[in-house]
């Protein structure tokens, strides 16, 4: 029972971590004015560095904890969860490194225009077109996430309905519930 509790806590932490990652689509919502956009990009670059460090630290803790938990556990279900935890931890380290060293989709656009010789008026015009396209893409990504989490939830609930092992069935229900909550959160 203790290992099942640990598995649930681990899955909960991973789900929260995954939701934070999936919900990190901070788009620029201001006016298409270059000076405002410049300030947004500077703040976003600082946030990307902080988030990158955070993911690398928490991912490192999860990876090490998963390996240690795996080695200390004899229960196959717990070992599977610990293996998954270390795998997600390593993925979080990679995600953090990506945020820290490469930033976000605005960085290259900003760099290209900031260091160009075009006028402020032209920058504002180009920025307006770029932001229109980015808003459309963000909306598409949002609905893709709704559908993806809905399908994952359905697959987990289906697996729970077919599972005969009483220790495994709650894990599927939990994963189905988490993904249902994520799908609903993206829908609004």
- 181: tokens are 């909550």
Region 47-70 average pLDDT: 95
- Assessment of whether the complete model's pTM goes beyond 0.85: no
In this prediction, residue 165 has a pLDDT band, given cuts at 50, 70 and 90, of: confident
**In angstroms, rounded to a whole number, what is the distance separating the alpha carbons of residues 2 and 83?**
17
Region 5-22 average pLDDT: 54
Region 74-101 average pLDDT: 91
Q: Which of 5-14, 61-70, 161-170 has the lowest mean pLDDT?
A: 5-14
**In angstroms, rounded to a whole number, what is the distance separating the alpha carbons of residues 18 and 85?**
12
């Amino acid at each position: 029972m203790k290992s099942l509790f640990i598995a649930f806590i681990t899955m909960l932490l991973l789900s929260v971590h995954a939701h934070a990652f999936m919900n990190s689509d901070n788009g620029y919502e201001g006016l298409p004015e270059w000076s405002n956009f410049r300030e947004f990009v500077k703040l976003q670059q600082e946030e990307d560095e902080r988030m990158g460090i955070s993911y690398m630290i928490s991912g490192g803790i999860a990876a090490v904890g998963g390996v240690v938990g795996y080695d200390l556990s004899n229960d196959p279900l717990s070992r599977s969860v610990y293996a998954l935890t270390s795998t997600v931890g390593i993925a979080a380290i990679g995600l953090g490194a990506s945020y820290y060293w490469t930033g976000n989709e605005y960085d290259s656009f900003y760099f290209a225009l900031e260091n160009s010789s075009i006028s402020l008026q032209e920058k504002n015009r180009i920025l307006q077109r770029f932001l229109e396209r980015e808003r459309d893409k963000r909306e598409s990504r949002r609905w893709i996430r709704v559908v993806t989490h809905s399908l994952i939830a359905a697959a987990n609930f289906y697996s729970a309905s077919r599972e005969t092992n009483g220790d495994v069935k709650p894990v599927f229900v939990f994963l189905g519930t988490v993904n249902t909550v994520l799908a609903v959160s993206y829908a609004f």
